[in-house]
Amino acid sequence: MSQQESERITVYSDYVCPFCYLGRHSLNQYQETREEELEIDWHPFDLRSQKRNPDGTIDHAVDDGKDDDYYAQAKENVRRLQEKYDVEMDLDIATDIDSLPAQVASYYVKEHYDQATWLDFDVAIFEALWQEGKDIGDEALLVELAEDAGVAGDEIRSALDDESLRAEVREQFTEAQQHGVTGVPTFAYEGYAARGAVPPEQLRRLVEGT
């Protein structure tokens, strides 16, 4: 099967979403059962869109309806899925990290490099946040992760300064909502979708119908 003919699964996600990280582990576990690996068609999604100022910064004072009880329940669900998928995580929730720079950088790599390079960078961003507790909104960190994946650091610096690229990423957020994506992770395959950090067997049913 050629690259053009390879199967692909669409994944909508935001790096600051712990369930996106856990969902990718579930996808990896499903991938291990397949003969042909699914290509990941990643689409960025901004969980903080309602709290962003016009200049793109986050206004943490904006009430998004997520109170202490919400986060307590989310943390409990994260820990439960950590055990289920055997995933080590340094953080349960990342409320103070802005993922927009990481999403812009990742989108640039996805559009200009092959799947393997993008995937290396993508995984590195997730692990930097959830395994090491690092600020993935930091340009220097993103440059370092990109260079480790084989992408020139200057390209990432330029991408982060490119207002037209940021506008394109924002358009991706809008398109996701127009496609009915209201939360992440969302996995889509040939008109069907599964939302949340669903188990590998549910991803198999989504893709294979069995």
Say how many Å lie between the first and final Cα of the chain, rounded. 22
pTM for this prediction? 0.93
Residue 20 lies in a domain: yes
Does some domain include residue 35? Answer: yes
Residue 177 falls inside a structural domain: no
Q: What Cα–Cα distance (Å) separates residue 41 from each residue in 30, 80, 82, 189?
A: 16, 27, 24, 10
Whether 176 is in a domain gets the answer: no
**Tokens of residue 188, six digits:** 């889509």
Provide the 10 A C-beta neighbour count for residue 82: 18
Token pair 């349960």 is found at 92
Residue-level pLDDT at 165:
97
175 in any annotated domain? no
Write out the E strands in the chain: 8-13, 39-44, 186-189, 192-195
* Tokens at 24, concatenated: 């990718």
Range of the domain at 55: 8-170+183-208
| Residue 9, phi then psi, degrees to nearest 5 | -115, 135
pLDDT in tens, the chain (210 residues): 334 446 999 999 999 999 999 999 999 999 999 999 999 999 999 998 888 888 888 888 888 888 889 899 999 999 999 999 999 999 999 988 999 999 999 999 999 999 999 999 999 999 999 999 999 999 999 999 999 999 999 999 999 999 999 999 999 999 999 999 999 999 999 999 999 999 999 999 999 997
| Residue 72: CATH number of its domain | 3.40.30.10
**Total domains, the chain:** 1
For position 1, what pLDDT does the model report? Answer: 37
On the CB side of 28, CA atoms within 13 Å amount to 11
Residue 62 domain flag: yes
CB–CB of 185/194 below 8 Å? no
b/e string for 161-178 if b means 16 or more Cβ within 10 A? eeeebbeebbebbeebee
Does a structural domain hold residue 2? no
Q: Is residue 79 part of a domain?
A: yes
